[in-house]
């Protein structure tokens, strides 16, 4: 059987770096089919995707993906550990994916020992982490320093290795494979370029951040060149399109209700409520909320959870994916259709076939309807978006 390589992704938007990822997978495994598990309307950074899921899936298929599935919203808008865990659970549960490929700044022989140490921490690591936190370091910095110390990596720059964005997710993928005892074989590829570079700098492999920035300021030719295709001009959900909805929900909610949000602890609900009452945009709200203790990414996800009515109780009651949606496939990979039908995890092609009583399905419906609202579209987008075929 030919290898089937899973890729957990967002493609907001799909660009030349992602195309290069496909090329590197096929350089390592020439006969591989590529299965993309892509975030839907909202991303891990707690923001609506610029383009609709269907358009992003179509771009991946055109670039060579064999199949595109959707990561449910309950797992796409999560911290790195749960984002990775949800994705690996789905790919492993399908029953036919053989490999997991992801970008990383470092090679597997360096990543794996760090991942195993995080998943099975030693007393020495826990002591080092506690000491770094006591010095006032952020958790990410403390963890990086503790890893460097316990792995015997000298040098002042060693801890920063474990704070690089692709390495962070790579460690989470490896930890998820270990935790689930999954047979998925890791296939890391070298990430080239700055993952968070704010501007297109003429390099071969841009960041999604830079592509979005160019597109939003009207530099369409630059953005299209960085993606290798003409990005759709509409429909779009702009970054500030749902600001008013978010602020209204926060202002209208009691502090007690806000405390039910995931990771809203230690009185953060009071700060969230107070800041929402005086801020007039999402960016201003995040600026007001951010402290050394509360990272902007965490706060952004908190706001997204408030927008989508996601509670800690919901996530606790549904810790694992219960289905996956089909977004698109290639005609040349028809054998995957038969494998999808045999999957132990339900694969839903028609949204009308979804279980409307399932809270995870209800969350996905809300996510699509909110995205549609921001894009100026009527409700029901998830029900009308068909499966793309290339």
| Each residue's pLDDT tens digit, 324-360 | 999 999 999 989 999 999 999 999 999 999 999 999 9
- What is the DSSP code (8-state) at residue 51? B
Q: Answer whether residue 138 shows pLDDT above 90.
A: no
Q: Taking residues 13-42, what's their average pLDDT?
A: 97
Half-sphere exposure of 382 (CA within 13 A, CB side): 25
pLDDT of residue 92: 97
Q: How confident is the model at residue 94 (pLDDT cuts 50, 70, 90)?
A: very high
Q: How confident is the model at residue 123 (pLDDT cuts 50, 70, 90)?
A: very high
pLDDT of residue 316: 97
| Each residue's pLDDT tens digit, 243-272 | 999 999 999 999 999 999 999 998 999 999
Angle between helices 243-252 and 282-289 (to 10 degrees): 50
Q: Strand, helix or coil at 269? A: helix
Residue 335 tokens, joined: 């054998």
Helix (H), strand (E) at residue 187: strand 185-190
pLDDT of residue 200: 78
With a pLDDT cut of 70, the percent of the chain lying above it is: 96
Q: How confident is the model at residue 389 (pLDDT cuts 50, 70, 90)?
A: very high
Distance CA(217)–CA(366), nearest Å, equals 29
Q: Taking residues 72-91, what's their average pLDDT?
A: 97
| Each residue's pLDDT tens digit, 222-251 | 999 999 999 999 999 999 999 999 999 999
Distance CA(26)–CA(63), nearest Å, equals 12
Q: Taking residues 144-158, what's their average pLDDT?
A: 81
pLDDT of residue 268: 95
pLDDT of residue 204: 66
pLDDT of residue 203: 58
Residue 318 tokens, joined: 């549904």
The partner residues of 2 in beta bridges, in order of sequence, read none
Q: Report the Cα 350 to chain-centroid distance in Å.
A: 23
CA dihedral in degrees (70, 96, 104, 194; nearest 10)? -30
pLDDT of residue 111: 95
Q: Report the Cα 309 to chain-centroid distance in Å.
A: 19
pLDDT of residue 137: 80
Distance CA(155)–CA(72), nearest Å, equals 41
Distance CA(266)–CA(260), nearest Å, equals 12
Q: How confident is the model at residue 156 (pLDDT cuts 50, 70, 90)?
A: low
- Return the exposure string of 274-286: e unless at least 16 CB atoms fall within 10 Å of the residue's CB, then b: ebbeebeebeebb
Which residue matches tokens 């509670």? 311
CA angle 281, 362, 242 (to 5 degrees): 15
pLDDT of residue 49: 98
| Each residue's pLDDT tens digit, 279-297 | 999 999 999 999 877 889 9
Q: How confident is the model at residue 197 (pLDDT cuts 50, 70, 90)?
A: low
Angle between helices 139-150 and 123-134 (to 10 degrees): 140
Distance CA(19)–CA(4), nearest Å, equals 17
pLDDT of residue 338: 92
Q: What is the mean pLDDT of the chain?
A: 94
Q: Strand, helix or coil at 322? A: coil
Residue 319 tokens, joined: 């810790």
Across 66-75, 132-141, 192-201, 259-268, least confident range: 192-201
pLDDT of residue 157: 65
The partner residues of 243 in beta bridges, in order of sequence, read none
């Amino acid at each position: 059987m030919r290898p089937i390589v899973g890729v957990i992704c967002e493609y907001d938007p799909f660009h030349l770096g992602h195309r290069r990822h496909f090329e590197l997978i096929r350089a390592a495994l020439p006969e591989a089919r590529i299965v993309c598990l892509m975030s839907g309307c909202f991303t891990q950074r707690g923001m609506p995707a610029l383009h609709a899921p269907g358009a992003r899936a179509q771009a991946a298929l055109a670039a060579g993906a064999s199949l595109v599935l959707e990561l449910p919203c309950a797992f796409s808008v999560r911290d790195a550990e749960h984002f990775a865990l949800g994705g690996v659970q789905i790919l492993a549960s399908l029953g036919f994916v053989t490999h997991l490929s992801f970008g990383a700044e470092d090679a597997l022989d360096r990543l794996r020992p760090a991942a195993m140490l995080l998943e099975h921490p030693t007393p020495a690591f826990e002591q080092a982490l506690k000491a770094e936190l006591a010095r006032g370091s952020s958790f990410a910095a403390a963890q990086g320093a503790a890893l460097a110390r316990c792995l015997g990596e000298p040098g002042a720059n060693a801890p920063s290795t474990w704070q690089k964005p692709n390495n962070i997710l790579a460690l989470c993928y490896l930890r998820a494979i270990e935790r689930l005892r999954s047979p998925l074989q890791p296939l890391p590829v070298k990430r080239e370029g700055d993952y968070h570079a704010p501007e297109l700098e003429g390099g071969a492999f841009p960041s999604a951040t830079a592509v979005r920035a160019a597109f939003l300021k009207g530099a369409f030719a630059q953005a299209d060149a960085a993606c290798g295709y003409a990005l759709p001009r509409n429909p779009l959900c702009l970054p500030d399109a749902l600001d008013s909805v978010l602020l209204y929900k926060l202002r209208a909610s009691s502090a007690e209700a806000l405390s039910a949000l995931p990771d809203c602890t230690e009185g953060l609900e009071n700060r969230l409520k107070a800041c929402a009452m005086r801020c007039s945009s999402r960016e201003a709200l995040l600026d007001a909320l951010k402290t050394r203790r509360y990272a902007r990414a965490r706060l952004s996800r908190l706001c997204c959870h408030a927008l989508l009515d996601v509670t800690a109780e919901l996530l606790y009651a549904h810790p694992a994916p219960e289905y996956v949606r089909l977004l698109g496939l290639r005609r040349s990979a028809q054998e995957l259709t038969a494998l999808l039908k045999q999957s132990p995890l339900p694969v839903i092609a028609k949204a009308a076939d979804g279980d409307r009583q399932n809270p995870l399905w209800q969350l996905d419906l809300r996510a699509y309807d909110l995205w549609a609202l921001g894009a100026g579209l009527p409700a029901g987008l998830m029900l009308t978006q068909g499966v793309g075929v290339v």
